[in-house]
Amino acid sequence: MTRVVAGVDGCPGGWAVARWTGEELALERVDHLAGVVADVRSGLLAMVAIDMPMGLLDSDRRSGDGELRRRLGPRRASMFPPPIRAVLDAGDYDEAKAISRATCGRAPSIQAWNLVPKIAELDRMLTPDDQMAVIEGHPELAFARLGDGPCPASKSTPDGRAERLDRCRRRFGAARVDAVLATRSMPIVDALDALVLCDLAERVLDGDAEAVGWQRDRRGLRATVWV
């Protein structure tokens, strides 16, 4: 069985995709996720961790999100509730807020709304069977596992980016990380998020990760975040 894993994060115009063989690290930007999912289904990838909500509930809040925000501590604001499924059909943010308020009594954040095109792209191609090897992760929780807890500073600050870069270098080797970042075609914050999700994917494959939340949506997709 292949041991190649991948970490995926949304980036401007597409997706940042990192791949890790246990010895070699690669990083690319792709326009769509179809190729990544196809590689999972064909066996070219053993596990993929994606920073994007899976399992879109109709009205309930996801059961594990509160616990995950608690674990994030100073980085808790980086985890916001995903939109309910009905919001995928909205034409704009005002319509999304109206739909969501009428359905569940609360409106999606602007951050959640801005992710809707990518959430919808992933949702269209994902099946419950795919979730054996295509999992939802959160980069800040993954970074916390690589150090002494959550990063103290936001990734939007120089200190925050430096801390995340250091944790990736210690995990994958400074030479490998610096080489892939030197030719990156996405913002460094998205590149680092994709890299750290490779660590999560490998830990899930090795049985060294925890699944938080086991609700299923009406399509049968699990609303589960791995940490």
pLDDT by 10-residue block (mean), the chain, 227 residues: 90 97 97 97 97 92 88 86 93 96 92 95 97 97 94 95 98 98 98 98 97 94 96
Residues 6 or more apart in contact with residue 48 via CB below 8 angstroms: 5, 6, 7, 8, 36, 37, 40, 133, 134, 135, 201
Question: Helices (H), strands (E): how many in the chain?
Answer: 9, 7
Q: Which tokens is 136 given?
A: 């939802």
Provide CB contacts within 8 A for 170, sequence distance 6+.
146
pLDDT value of position 79: 82
Q: What is the CATH number that goes with domain 5-67+125-226?
A: 3.30.420
Q: What's the pTM value of the predicted model, to 2 decimals?
A: 0.95
| C-beta of residue 142 within 8 angstroms of C-beta of residue 196 | yes
Provide the β-strand partners of residue 225.
136, 212
How far is C-alpha 182 from the geometric centre of its chain's CA atoms? 23
145 three-class SS: helix
Q: What residue spans define the domains of the chain?
A: 5-67+125-226
Give the DSSP letter of residue 79.
-
SS3 91: coil
Short-list 51, 15, 47, 45, CA closest to 32: 15
